Amino acid sequence: MSKTTLKIDGMHCTSCALNINRELTKNSGVKDAKVNFAAEKAEIEFDESVIDINEIKKIISNSGYQVNENADSSLAIKKQEALAFEKQQRTRLTIATLLTLPVFIRMFWMWEINGHFLEIANTALVMFLLSGLVVFIFGWPFHKNAFKLLIKRQTNMDTLVSMGTLSAFLYSTWAMSHGITALYFDGAAGITSLILLGKFLELKTKNRASQAMEKLMELGVKKARIIFDGQEIEKNIDDVLKDEIISIKPGEKIPLDAEIINGETMIDESMLTGESLPVTKNIGSKIYAATINLNGTINARVLTPASESMLSQIIRTVEEAQNFKAPMQKLADRISSIFVPTVIALSVLTFLGWYSVTGDTAHALISAVTVLIISCPCALGLATPIAILVGTSVGAKNGILIKNGEAFEKAKNIDVVVFDKTGTLTIGKPRVEKIITNTNENFTEEKLIKIGASLANKSLHPISQAILFYGQEKNAQLADLENFQENSGQGVTASCRTHKTKLALGNLKLLETLNINIDWAKDLIDNNHNGKTIVFVAHDYKIAGAFLIADQIKENTKTAIADLNKINLQPMLLSGDNKMSAEIVAREIGITNVIAEVLPTEKLNEIKKLQAVQKKVVFVGDGINDAPSLVQADLGIAMGSGSDIAKETGDIIIIKNDPLKVVEAIKLSRKTFTIIKENLFWAFFYNTLAIPLAMTGLINPMIGALTMGFSDVTIIVNSLRIYRQPGGVNSRIDKA
């Protein structure tokens, strides 16, 4: 078996991806095919003895799409092309809407243009021209796709749109030419413009997904310095081999996954683990591509080539998670696959029946067209967009950004809500929670804070910054220091310029290095650690006290977890932080299910394990390391304070960075999806009720149009119920 990945152009919705997938898998030589609309790619596994790559490309071409032979063009060019196409579609939508407005307005205000041309009223001619431009120029992709599907004996939403708009337009044209005043140009143009809006929103969603992958790829560096014969040589990272020695200076990104063989430093691994505190690295420690070397020059032996680095694995897992998640087959398409051929058949039967009974071609045609007009999917076109518009508007007012309509469906059957810890449930920055003075040595809190803040003022370490901020809050007067020295992985030392006393700020290892008695420090660690970081202060070789530092839990975290339990959703904590810290936070906020010390790929695997036992999973995170899990989960929610990549891959963004908004987002999504289902019911209810009446000749096209209009009003009023929730999402939505 062979595998290939092809870039495909011409897909304009998820149905296109499904159609290509269906055509490929029809061939016995194709074992498996995964077509990803968002990434515009097809991953195909095939038997070369049965089918070759050119035949696969031909199948895609015959389906009406093109294989992009220049798929390896640069990210900048791809982004430029995507933005240009989006701009083009926005322009098409704008022009189509402007042409539709005069025709649509006439439904409510009967404007007239005096005079006739070729015995046809000028008003009717203007409506004919405006709607014709919209239907045949801007709506051409729908008709084209519907024709392709017709050849293959398939139907979808495009078939319904094409059938409805063409029947309304062509009948109105015939009626206009025969002096009939009941015209339906407004329906034809309105449906086309509305569906164009939906397609444009889908395009924006697809472009966001592509940008997410671009941002992941841009994290890595392009070059590395290798040491060869004692000299540093710069090479492209793709050319660096395993076991070569690379050199990384302070402030630089790590180019490749490697193991330190010389030097000691602190590494910012927040893009990988999500944790804000730097990690001490020395000889034998592993370092990872795209993490940042903070303060020491190191040499390291390359462990894997660039294509197998942790960053590359994250990129691959995002792509794979997208591919394995089948595009949502919209409910409207599923219904229309039965509804469309049924309506066409009924329309033909109506014409034949009346013609055989009366012999009156005009009467038979009017009855048949009435059936088609009643089935015209104006309400169906409104059913989902209007509910999504209201739902997203309510969400935005409440700090919840819902990026796509699929998020509403994804939230309907959720079982487990999995949270990342740092930056999601906690603030993500170290803060001083408590100070403890060494009463044995008679130090005061004021002096302890002054020494700690003075030493911290000279360091850029996040823990030092937390101590400095605490000192500023307490209005501490900083001492004048000299001989400042930073000891990587231990702390800092200095001397007071005025009193010449020796000062130190750091961990237990620093105290031992300075030969300071650590009995008091050990007792403090044994009795007060509780997962917090303890930073000791020494004054003239005596311990003055300590700062207890931890990441603070966000204000509404406990309430959010309690609310999830109330609506029978199981909260779970999945963190890259150490086990003790994770369990302490979980215990404090009310979560009993905790998994800690997991890397990004391990987080993804934990999500997959839950899904393997038929659990529907929400994942809430904020870091780059959370991107694969956000995509793999049934619903991904990204905190607004997080990285761009987390926000791009999430289905929902919590703008206000409040965990309580996660609960509200789930409730709002469920409520909105319920409204969508109700709207779809009403969209078909009036039509299917009126079709038998149309077939029997009891109603005419005008009544059919009124039926369509009444269903529109019903759908709009039903959708506006979302606005009636006091506070937007906190009241009756609780029952969703």
Please give the positions annotated as active site.
420
Asked whether the beta carbons of 489 and 282 are under 8 A apart, the reply is yes
β-pair partners for 280: 266
The span from the CA of 303 to the CA of 422, in Å, is 29
As a whole number of angstroms, the distance between CA 99 and CA 115 comes to 21
What is the distance, to the nearest Å, from the Cα of residue 144 to the centroid of all Cα atoms in its chain? 31
Instruction: Using DSSP bridges, classify how beta strands 594-595 and 570-574 pair: parallel, antiparallel or unpaired.
Output: parallel
CA 372 to chain centre: 39
Residues 6+ apart with CB under 8 A from 354: 360, 363, 364, 367, 368, 697
Segments in 359-487 forming alpha helices (H): 361-375, 378-397, 406-410, 445-456, 462-473
Tokens representing 207 are 């472009």
Distance CA 239, CA 224 (A): 9
Burial class of 84 by CB neighbour count within 10 A (0 to 12, 13 to 18, 19+): exposed
Which residue in 289, 236, 235, 227 sits closest to 262, CA to CA? 227
Among the residues of 106-184, which ranges form H helices? Answer: 122-133, 140-151, 157-177
Nearest one of 407, 408, 344, 323 to 162, comparing CA atoms: 344
Sheet holding 245-248, edge to edge: 231-236, 223-228, 245-248, 298-302, 258-262, 286-287
Judge whether 268 and 291 are in contact, CB under 8 Å: yes
The upper half-sphere exposure of residue 368, i.e. CA atoms within 13 Å in the direction of its Cβ, equals: 20
Indicate the SS3 state at residue 228.
strand
- Cα–Cα distance, 164 to 190 (Å, whole number): 11
- Composition of the chain by helix, strand, coil, percent to 5: 55, 20, 30
Length in residues, the chain: 736
Q: CA-based diameter of the chain, in Å?
A: 116
